Amino acid sequence: MAKEAEVRMEAWNETTVLAFVLEGFLVAPRLGKALFLVHLLVYLASVTGNTLIIAITWADPRLQTPMYFFLRSFSICECCFISTVIPKLLSIFLFGDRTIHFAPCIIQAFSFLFLGSTIFFHMAVMSLDRYLAICKPLHYPAIMNPRVCFLLVFLSYVLSFLLVTGVILKLSWLSFCGSNVIPHFFCDLGSLIHLSCSDTKSLEKMAFGVALVILFTSVLAAIFAYSNILISIMRLPSAKERQKAFSTCSSHLMVLSLMYGSCVFIYVKPKQTSRFESNREAALVNTVVTPLLNPVIYTLRNKQVHQALRDALSRVNLQK
């Protein structure tokens, strides 16, 4: 009996997964370099746009307001978020390097979920900031003082860390002794749960609950803020002012809907055993397209930012 148990243990050790293979996107090899170039350009554009936001809101004294403080922190998160996934995807397209070892895979899964959660909490904070600025303008300076702004950003990071760490620790304790092919282009939580040969029911419930808390806390904050903002906009006397305000809100709400929709589609479902192909497409929108659009939607259409950029370019030309 003891000998049989020893043989089983040896067989288990031989089949324990030490590395995973990222399936990525199944495309013809000749398209790999073209997709590499497209994703590289999008990645560089996203990082450049967000870095520009960070620099201009840091350097220009006219942009030292709560709104731009939150945007700066948001852009830092976006740069880090896209950098957790896209470099490996570029490596897959260019070199066909699909292997990722266990520890880096767990780290990537944690970084993706932690930064993604932080972004959603940031979006909730930014929505509430706009609500206070538009609906409570007299109380806004007193409420959104520098200390409160810092605490809100700090709490976004802390809450995300606490919520995600428990899920990732539980994931790292799972056994992986079967297939090591992840049907995704990064170490996705749902895909890893599906590959495990352990009992994952408790982890699935935990991940589902955490996703609900993160997504719906952010969604409810955004709904509350923007419903009140829209009511305030409707009370504006000028049709031109209303049209301009609605245009700005609709653009912002479009990005919110894009992020919320893709994340709800990916994570807020009790079973993670199907629709992996659709998940890949939704995740690609969330990790590539949305970070590229955010700089345009949130700041680059803003007249204050335009003026700050023009002034910065003028100073550079004068130095030359």
Q: Which of 144, 147, 146 is nearest to 134 (CA)?
A: 144
Taking the C-alpha atoms of 174, 180, 186 and 187 in order, what is their torsion angle to the nearest 10 degrees? 0
State which of 18-32, 37-51, 54-68, 169-183 shows the largest mean pLDDT.
37-51
Report the alpha-carbon distance of residue 222 to residue 259 in Å, rounded: 12
Looking at 3.30.565.10, 1.20.1070.10, 3.40.50.1820, 1.10.390.10, the CATH number of the domain 19-306 comes to 1.20.1070.10
Residue 154's CB is within 10 A of a number of other CB atoms, namely: 11
Confidence of residue 49 (pLDDT cuts 50, 70, 90): confident
- The identity of residue 35, as a single letter, is L
Report the alpha-carbon distance of residue 254 to residue 9 in Å, rounded: 53
Q: Which of 212, 211, 207, 213 is nearest to 194 (CA)?
A: 207
Cβ 140 vs Cβ 133: under 8 Å? yes
318 by Cβ neighbours in 10 Å (0-12 / 13-18 / 19+) ranks as exposed
pLDDT digit string, tens, across residues 63-76: 888 888 998 999 99
Report the alpha-carbon distance of residue 268 to residue 272 in Å, rounded: 9
Question: Is 181 in a helix, a strand, or coil?
Answer: strand
Cβ 102 vs Cβ 53: under 8 Å? no
Q: Which pLDDT value is given to residue 200?
A: 86
Entry pTM = 0.84
Please check the confidence at residue 289 and state whether its pLDDT lies above 70: yes
